Amino acid sequence: MLTSLVTGTMISFILGLMIGSFLNVVIYRTPRGENVAWPGSHCPRCGESLRWYHNIPLLSWLGLRGRCAFCGEGISIRYPLVELLNALLWAVLYLRIAFPESALPGMASLLHFLMVAGTFSALLALSMIDFEYFAVPDSVNLFALATALLAAAAHAWEAGAWSPLLHALRDAVLAAGGLWALAWIIGKVTGKEAMGGADVIVAGTMAALLGFPGFFLALFAAALLAIVPSLLARDTMVPFVPFLSLGTLIVYLFETPLVQALNRYLYG
Ligand SMILES: [Zn+2]
């Protein structure tokens, strides 16, 4: 049992590193309107194509001491950082979902895990893009919503019942619709655009993953987390998607203890 848990966590970590390497491509190319699959990786300065051994997550960056092997141009620390973050994300999510009942999880459980991890990876890419460009590409945003709904479908398959999928669809529509309506009203009252369509899609993804009241807890956590940077950087814009993503992760990992603590605090 313990060995299978350790093995599963390690495999998830390595898979997370590889997906993280691909996220770097998504983060660099999507805002530039470039194709993520073609052509292969190349140095943005000298244009030289990277060999396979330049593409090994973490290790290549460390081995090359953060420089291009051909022209010596510095490679941002963002690359190994995204790879490491995504690997940790996959390992933690594996432990959260873990498959205690058997050493070999069934197809449905495995698919459920992969879709949840895929959703959080897409949110990580979205967060990095939002940080750098203050823009959220629809393609990655809709990908996150799709994987969140597919996670619910896999969960339904796992449970042998439709309800997990129906609940996720209902909650996604309620959260996205509610936020859209709220933005519309605020817009009418203040005459200013309150929220973009991108936030509405992120809300749908959050609710599909968390349901209610998890969605509200995540919104609350995101608002709390965003206070400090908003105060520190008063005159610069603070991207909100990274905080929404972090709030979603916290609630996904710790919803039960959070709700218990809140109940104790509110009702004694
Ligand atoms: Zn180069």
pTM, to two decimals: 0.92
Q: Which two tokens stand for residue 266?
A: 């509110």
On the question of pLDDT at 103 being above 60, the answer is: no
What's the CA-to-centroid distance between 54 and ligand 1, angstroms? 12
Whether residues 88 and 121 share a domain: the answer is no
Whether residues 35 and 82 share a domain: the answer is yes
Whether residues 254 and 132 share a domain: the answer is yes
| Mean pLDDT of the region 84-95 | 96
pLDDT digits (tens, 9 = 90+) for 111-160: 999 999 999 999 999 999 998 888 899 999 999 999 999 999 999 998 89
What's the CA-to-centroid distance between 55 and ligand 1, angstroms? 14
What's the CA-to-centroid distance between 47 and ligand 1, angstroms? 6
Looking at residue 194, what is its pLDDT? 65
What's the CA-to-centroid distance between 232 and ligand 1, angstroms? 36
What's the CA-to-centroid distance between 45 and ligand 1, angstroms? 5
DSSP codes, 51-96: PGGG-STTHHHHHTTTB-TTT--B--THHHHHHHHHHHHHHHHHHH
Angle, CA of 46, 51 and 54, to the nearest 5°? 85
Looking at residue 60, what is its pLDDT? 92
Residues ≥6 apart with Cβ < 8 Å to 235: none
Whether residues 180 and 122 share a domain: the answer is yes
What's the CA-to-centroid distance between 120 and ligand 1, angstroms? 31
Whether residues 67 and 174 share a domain: the answer is no
What's the CA-to-centroid distance between 46 and ligand 1, angstroms? 4
What's the CA-to-centroid distance between 53 and ligand 1, angstroms? 15
Whether residues 116 and 49 share a domain: the answer is no
Whether residues 140 and 76 share a domain: the answer is no
What's the CA-to-centroid distance between 22 and ligand 1, angstroms? 19
Whether residues 4 and 119 share a domain: the answer is no
Tell me how far apart the alpha carbons of residues 116 and 136 are, in angstroms, rounded to a whole number: 20
Q: Which of 104, 120, 145 marks a domain boundary?
A: 104
What is the count of structural domains for the chain? 2
Whether residues 185 and 247 share a domain: the answer is yes
Whether residues 74 and 117 share a domain: the answer is no
Q: Which of 57, 86, 104 marks a domain boundary?
A: 104
Looking at residue 30, what is its pLDDT? 94
Q: Which domain holds residue 50?
A: 1-104
On whether the CB atoms of residues 61 and 79 are closer than 8 A, the answer is: yes
pLDDT digits (tens, 9 = 90+) for 32-73: 999 998 888 888 899 899 998 998 999 999 999 999 999 999
Whether residues 114 and 78 share a domain: the answer is no
Residues ≥6 apart with Cβ < 8 Å to 119: 144, 147, 148, 151, 205, 209
Rg (CA), the chain: 20
Whether residues 97 and 26 share a domain: the answer is yes
Q: Which of 50, 80, 104 marks a domain boundary?
A: 104
Of all residues in the chain, what percent are helix, strand and coil, respectively (each to 5)?
Answer: 75, 0, 25
pLDDT digits (tens, 9 = 90+) for 239-259: 889 999 999 999 999 988 888
What's the CA-to-centroid distance between 73 and ligand 1, angstroms? 6
What's the CA-to-centroid distance between 96 and ligand 1, angstroms? 40
Tell me how far apart the alpha carbons of residues 29 and 137 are, in angstroms, rounded to a whole number: 11
Looking at residue 85, what is its pLDDT? 97
What's the CA-to-centroid distance between 30 and ligand 1, angstroms? 21
Residues ≥6 apart with Cβ < 8 Å to 169: 149, 152, 208
